[in-house]
Chain A
Amino acid sequence: GDSVTQMEGPVTLSEEAFLTINCTYTATGYPSLFWYVQYPGEGLQLLLKATKADDKGSNKGFEATYRKETTSFHLEKGSVQVSDSAVYFCALVEYGNKLVFGAGTILRVKS
């Protein structure tokens, strides 16, 4: 079945550092891909999405490009802030409306 694999965390960075969180997926067809973010004590929020190959999703300085050839959807940000500290989830949906989530990656940003 469909699955999503994320890099293990926690990822610890200094403020203004460059961020990459790797995400790869397995799917039988052409899924839509997503990144969700969970701040402490809150539910998950949709951060960005891409629905077809070579699409780039972006929001709040974060970007991710749908790479079909490498089945990847890596999350990047050029300069992280302390307020970006959260758990980031990569996810896909292929059929119907059922999301498949990765395990989540904890990001800690130090000032």
Chain B
Amino acid sequence: DAGVIQSPRHEVTEMGQEVTLRCKPISGHDYLFWYRQTMMRGLELLIYFNNNVPIDDSGMPEDRFSAKMPNASFSTLKIQPSEPRDSAVYFCASSRQGTNEYYGYTFGSGTRLTVV
């Protein structure tokens, strides 16, 4: 398995532009998580899905952020309009829920977003 695949790896955009980050989870995983990592705030959970349904989006910072999971193999995180304070590394992770075993999260390599 190729693991969790995120694209793009790096994104530089101008303030006010729309940004779309993409994630392909591991096949068979039924949970998908979006995290943001910055030096100031550390690792923050933005939103997570179970079986393509958003379960908890309380970490989404504001209405400029939105996430979708149209099917089990694809998710997007969109920022519109983007602002310089959105600059961060965004990680996607997936996992599966076992009844007697915890399988852990598998993280993607992240998208480094810079908004200028």
Which residues of B come within 8 Å of A, CB atoms? Answer: 4, 31, 42-43, 45, 48, 50, 55-56, 91, 93, 95, 97, 102, 104-105, 107-110
Q: What CA separation (Å) do A46 and B3 show in the bound complex?
A: 13
Q: A97-B95, A98-B48 are in contact. Are A46 and B104 (CB under 8 A)?
A: yes
Q: What CA separation (Å) do A65 and B77 show in the bound complex?
A: 37
The answer to whether B109 touches A49, judged by C-beta atoms less than 8 angstroms apart, is: no
A to B CB contacts below 8 Å, 10 in the list: A43-B4, A43-B107, A44-B93, A44-B105, A46-B104, A49-B102, A93-B102, A98-B48, A103-B42, A104-B43
CB distance from A108 to the nearest CB of B (A): 16
* Residues of chain A with a CB closer than 8 A to B102's CB: 32, 49, 51, 93
* Residues of chain B with a CB closer than 8 A to A97's CB: 31, 50, 95, 97
Interface string of A37-65 (1 = CB under 8 A from B): 00001111110010100000000000000
The answer to whether A43 touches B95, judged by C-beta atoms less than 8 angstroms apart, is: no
* Residues of chain B with a CB closer than 8 A to A43's CB: 4, 91, 93, 107-110
Q: Interface residues of B: mostly helix, strand, loop or mixed?
A: strand
* Residues of chain A with a CB closer than 8 A to B55's CB: 96
The answer to whether A49 touches B104, judged by C-beta atoms less than 8 angstroms apart, is: yes
A25 within 8 A of B: no
The answer to whether A101 touches B43, judged by C-beta atoms less than 8 angstroms apart, is: yes
CB distance from B6 to the nearest CB of A (A): 8
The answer to whether B107 touches A101, judged by C-beta atoms less than 8 angstroms apart, is: no
The answer to whether A44 touches B56, judged by C-beta atoms less than 8 angstroms apart, is: no
* Residues of chain A with a CB closer than 8 A to B95's CB: 97
Counting from the closest, the 8 A-B pairs by CB-CB distance are: A43-B107, A46-B104, A44-B107, A103-B42, A101-B43, A97-B97, A97-B31, A43-B109
